[in-house]
Each structure stands twice: as C-alpha cells, then as structure tokens.
Amino acid sequence: MVIIMRPGADRETIEQVIDKVSELGFTPHPIYGVINTVIAVIGDRTQEAMDTLGAMPGVDRVVPILRPYKLAGREVKPEPTVITLPTGVQIGGEAVVVIAGPCAVESREQFLATAQYVKEAGAQVLRGFIYKARTSPHDFQGLREEGLDLLREARALTGLPLIAEVLDTRDVEKVHEVVDIFQIGARNMQNYALLAEVGRSDRPVVLKRGLSATVEELLKAAEYVLVGGNQQVMLCERGIRTFETMTRNTLDLSAVPVLKHYSHLPVLVDPSHASGHDWLVPALAKAAIAAGADGLIVETHPNPAQALVDGPQSLNPQAFRELMGQLPAFARAAGRRM
C-alpha cells in the first residue's frame, strides 16, 4: 500500500506515520516529493492496517499498490525522479544528458585522451569501465584494480562525474570511492545480490535491461535496488535479442515511453550496444531523444580499429563531436534542453 501524506505535512507528523508502519510489522519506504510525501509500505496489507494508518494525522489517503513494481511505479510517485550529480548536472529533468567514453579503460593514454575530447564535445558524464562482463572468459576482462588510479586521474583532469560497471559485490566498495554512478550491466540485471549491494549505497545506479528481459522484469529488478533504500536508479534500454541479425541487438524504442508511462525513474538509451555499428549510432541516438529518453550512453574511442572491446560500435572523435553538435536540435524539437 502507499500512504499519501497531505501537502505540507511536517517532518514530525511524517515520522509518526513511519514509526506506526514499523510498529505494525511493515517496512516503510518514505519518498519525499516536491508536493506530497508518500510512504510506500511493503508487506501483505490488511484492511485493519490501512484503516489505522488512514486515520492518522497528516494522512490524506491510503491506497493499495496494484502493480508488481511498487517503488519504481508512478502509483507511489507520480512526479519524475530527478538525479543530481556532484557537478549539479541533473538526469531526469528538462535536459538530455550524454554519458560517453570508451567501452573499456585500456591504457592511460587511451583513457585520458578520450576523457578530454569527450568533455570538450560537451558530454556531462564520463564512462570508465575497468571490469568488463565479456561473453567469453578468453577476452579482455578490463584493467580491474589497476585501472582505479586512472579513473581518479581522469576525474581530476576533466571534473566530469564518472560511471563504471560493477560485476561483483566484492568490488562495490572499491569502486564506490572513485565513481559517481554505478552501472549494472545487461548480463547482471537479475544478479539480485549485486542489486541489493548497490541498493545499500548512496551512489546513483544505471540499471541496464537484460538481453532477453521484458520491461516488467527490468522494473522488478529496479525494485531490488529501491527496497535497499537507494532511490537514485536510472533505467537503460540497450537493445534486446531478437531474430534480427543486421544489428547487434534490436533497440526497443517503445520501451522508452512505456517505462516513462509506468515509472518515475529516468530512462536512458544506449545506441552503441543496441546497434553494434558506429554508423548506426547517430540515427538511434536521435530517435531515442524523440522517444523521450532522458539521456544517452555512447561509446567512443580515439582509435576504434585498435579498441580492445566494442571497436565496431565506437564513434571516433570526429564522429562523436559531429553527433554532439547535432543532438541539441533534436532535444529542442522534443521539448528538452541540451
């Protein structure tokens, strides 16, 4: 169920309701909104509990949550979630945000060069992945701990917030020190231990849709992060498996308005993994903005032909700059800023 507090209910009144929820044996999840504060209550509801809570001071009404994605759904929070990064950049607000960088951090030279032109071209967040979830164990797995210092260096050099993927619960603490956003990749969308671990952290999380996951499964996976207390979750459509082979995956563009319809969480699109081809990335990036995406994740590499991972889908610096020059017009046409 969800308890909707009256507009203007003060902190103390809200705290009393939260305490009552715990006393009744449920887990309260307060969501402090701009207009209303709501308290999502997870646990099997009873009419008696609903009546008790509904009669408390400051409570406007108590309604059951009908959908299976309780905390991610618009039922508990009609207004969009906006995530503010340390630089003040907001994801989920009016502006469309670009997250860009190489698929993997390969060397100091490669990463710092990328960081610099990514920043100059206007991206607001830098990708710096040091753990790579490769389909084959024989492929490059990332610089791992050796890359941590390079992340620090790129962050200091550019001032850009960093996103990096975590693959293992044991790495969350180490990576926490150097990144601003955790990514949970497609292959780990249903790694519940990992979701719970980042759910306990204070860093925003980008959760990518699994290769064969439905939109509902993506929302249920997001619940694992949200129930841990971390409300800063972004969902990412990165293409799904279909019978089509001309593209690496099939970008499910309809997932963008569908997710935005059912959920208050920001929605990102990754046109690089969706397409698998650098020349396809601009078209999908523009289409994603038209569909209402709050941001893009774009792979770029100083020399894609030499890239250790995902070279064919990585934009070279020139192509990346061109794309960045073209996107603002699409954002404006979609009623957004860039």
Backbone angles phi, psi at 40, to 5 degrees: -80, 135
Least distance CB 323 / ligand PEP (angstroms): 17
Selected binder of ligand PEP within 103, 125, 162, 324 (CB under 6 A)? 103
Q: Per-residue x/- mask for ligand PEP, residues 55 to 94, rule CB under 6 A? A: ----------------------------------------
| Helix, strand, coil percentages for the chain (3-state, nearest 5) | 40, 20, 40
Identity of the residue, 129 or 182, whose beta carbon is nearer to ligand PEP in the bound complex: 129
Least distance CB 310 / Mn ion (angstroms): 4
Residues contacting 294, CB < 8 A, separation 6+: 91, 92, 93, 96, 97, 234, 266, 267, 268
# of chain residues touching Mn ion (CB under 5 A): 2
CA pair distance 160, 127, nearest whole angstrom: 10
Q: List 179's β-bridge partners, or say none.
A: none
- Segment 197-236, which members bind ligand PEP (CB under 6 A)? 208
- Segment 124-183, which members bind ligand PEP (CB under 6 A)? 129, 133
CA pair distance 5, 120, nearest whole angstrom: 45
Q: Work out what residue 294 binds among ligand PEP, Mn ion, none; the CB cut-off runs from 5 to 8 Å by kind.
A: none
Look up residue 89 and give its amino acid. V
Look up residue 87 and give its amino acid. T
Q: Choose the stretch contacting Mn ion; rule: CB under 5 A; options: 36-44, 150-158, 163-171, 304-312.
A: 304-312
Least distance CB 272 / Mn ion (angstroms): 7
Q: Is 273 in the site for ligand PEP (CB under 6 A)?
A: yes
Neighbouring CB atoms inside 10 A of 3's CB total: 27
Q: Work out what residue 75 binds among Mn ion, ligand PEP, none; the CB cut-off runs from 5 to 8 Å by kind.
A: none
Residues contacting 59, CB < 8 A, separation 6+: 3, 4, 5, 6, 17, 53
Q: Is 276 in the site for ligand PEP (CB under 6 A)?
A: no
Selected binder of ligand PEP within 238, 248, 260, 264 (CB under 6 A)? 238
Helix, strand or coil, per DSSP, at residue 212: coil
Q: Is 185 in the site for ligand PEP (CB under 6 A)?
A: yes
What dihedral angle (degrees, nearest 10) is formed by the CA atoms of 258, 270, 168, 80? Answer: -40
Q: How wide is the angle at C-alpha 288 spanned by C-alphas 285 and 293, nearest 5°?
A: 120
Identity of the residue, 75 or 310, whose beta carbon is nearer to Mn ion in the bound complex: 310
Identity of the residue, 37 or 314, whose beta carbon is nearer to ligand PEP in the bound complex: 314
Selected binder of Mn ion within 150, 310, 314, 331 (CB under 5 A)? 310
CA pair distance 240, 242, nearest whole angstrom: 6
Strands 295-299 and 2-5: unpaired
Q: Is 237 in the site for Mn ion (CB under 5 A)?
A: no
DSSP state of 315: B
Identity of the residue, 98 or 186, whose beta carbon is nearer to ligand PEP in the bound complex: 186
Q: Is 270 in the site for Mn ion (CB under 5 A)?
A: no
Length of the chain: 338
Q: Is 49 in the site for ligand PEP (CB under 6 A)?
A: no
# of chain residues touching ligand PEP (CB under 6 A): 10
Q: Work out what residue 186 binds among Mn ion, ligand PEP, none; the CB cut-off runs from 5 to 8 Å by kind.
A: ligand PEP
Q: Helices 317-333 & 281-291, crossing angle to 10 degrees?
A: 20
Q: Is 267 in the site for ligand PEP (CB under 6 A)?
A: no
Q: How wide is the angle at C-alpha 227 spanned by C-alphas 224 and 229, nearest 5°?
A: 120
Least distance CB 129 / ligand PEP (angstroms): 6
* Sites of contact with Mn ion (CB under 5 A): 103, 310
* Sites of contact with ligand PEP (CB under 6 A): 103, 129, 133, 185-187, 208, 238, 270, 273
